[in-house]
Chains A and B, each alone.
Chain A
């Protein structure tokens, strides 16, 4: 059995496999094309995985649950990098600013265990148009060891030299925090956990 983590993309067979009673119109429309949900950062209870349905707009997000045995396939943000998934996009989609930035960033992170989340990750995993001209690049990173604030600032500067803002979330187990926030932190940093967000003085300590 595979371990399910926040940001993973789960493919299911039909809308009926979701525990939501009724989907709003936008979700019905968008979801039937991809049949893919994103694992939310929340607790798994009774084998029900907390998931979200993505729409085209930021306000179009719907929380739901899916039973583990209904999952046909799971794709992690890290697999998208290992497979160079962006090479499979059509030429038109490759011209999206976020995708162009992704291609430039990939060699910089070649020694990192990193992945692609957000709208670009969703598009790469589902082959359905999801990223927009204005989309940022949401990335996740599983560090082998902690880095100090100065190194974090340097890394972010290197990643953000291209046209689109890249946001790097540091992943430790099921927790995640923003590298940018840590890099500039004077006191506390917010860590998102499956039990909700919390403020800590050292986000690397788990």
Chain B
């Protein structure tokens, strides 16, 4: 098990928390919470040694969608494709609330 931490400079604040994904092999759960600070991401993953892969996926995502949130991720061996899709799903859930 490994804990990872990332920060991103972002602009678009969120108003409500959202929770997507499931606790299952090859999947992850993602929780976005409103914050006054910059975007902070805390990841707990069962797969060690993937810091750079996470950084790539997250950088690409937040470059495109500068969502300001406190983000918690619990990962159970998901692929980068699944991570990206779950982040997109969280974004959709945020839009639905507006």
Task: Using CB atoms and an 8 Å cutoff, list the residues of chain A in contact with chain B.
Answer: 57-59, 61, 118, 136, 138, 165, 167, 169, 178, 180-181, 186-188, 190, 192, 196-199
- Judging by beta carbons under 8 Å apart, are A198 and B85 in contact? yes
A181 partner, pick from B22, B26, B49, B96, beta carbons under 8 A:
B22
Least CB separation from B93: chain A residue: A187
Which residues from chain A contact B76 at a C-beta distance below 8 Å?
Answer: 58
Which residues from chain A contact B27 at a C-beta distance below 8 Å?
Answer: 178, 190
- Judging by beta carbons under 8 Å apart, are B22 and A180 in contact? yes
**Interface presence of B77 (CB below 8 A):** yes
- Judging by beta carbons under 8 Å apart, are B93 and A136 in contact? no
Least CB separation from A59: chain B residue: B47
- Judging by beta carbons under 8 Å apart, are A59 and B96 in contact? no
Which residues from chain B contact A198 at a C-beta distance below 8 Å?
Answer: 85
- Judging by beta carbons under 8 Å apart, are A59 and B46 in contact? yes
1/0 contact string of B12-29 vs chain A (CB within 8 Å)? 000000000111111100
Task: Using CB atoms and an 8 Å cutoff, list the residues of chain B in contact with chain A.
Answer: 21-27, 46-50, 76-77, 81-82, 85-86, 88-89, 92-93, 96
B56 to chain A, nearest CB (A): 17
Which residues from chain A contact B88 at a C-beta distance below 8 Å?
Answer: 199
- Judging by beta carbons under 8 Å apart, are B92 and A59 in contact? no
B25 partner, pick from A136, A180, A197, beta carbons under 8 A:
A136
Q: Give the complex CA separation of A192 and B79 in angstroms.
A: 11
State whether A178 and B24 are in contact (beta carbons under 8 Å apart), knowing that A58-B77, A197-B85, A199-B89 are contacts in the complex.
Answer: yes
Q: Give the complex CA separation of A177 and B29 in angstroms.
A: 15
- Judging by beta carbons under 8 Å apart, are B24 and A188 in contact? no
Which residues from chain A contact B46 at a C-beta distance below 8 Å?
Answer: 58-59
